[in-house]
Amino acid sequence: MPEIKIAPSILSADRNRLQEDVESVKDGDLLHVDIMDGRFVPPVTFSVDEIKRLKTSMPLDVHL
């Protein structure tokens, strides 16, 4: 049986509280991040620079 991993997503996180929202899911195995730039897909989410500023020990699971 494959190992199950929990990857909380920050898609609905508050941009003004991003670091706090990330800390609230720190017990997850991975941090799921969707990067949408408004060009290839309509919505805009967090920028690459915003994600780089995050402080977390969780590996990032990033979808571009």
* Spatial separation of the C-alpha atoms in residues 8 and 29, rounded to whole Å: 8
Q: In the prediction, which pLDDT does 48 show?
A: 82
Q: In the prediction, which pLDDT does 8 show?
A: 96
* Spatial separation of the C-alpha atoms in residues 51 and 22, rounded to whole Å: 11
Is residue 64 pLDDT above 90, yes or no? no
pLDDT in tens, 6-17: 999 999 999 899
Neighbours of 16 (CB within 10 A): 8
* Spatial separation of the C-alpha atoms in residues 37 and 47, rounded to whole Å: 7
Q: How many residues does the chain have?
A: 64
Q: In the prediction, which pLDDT does 32 show?
A: 96
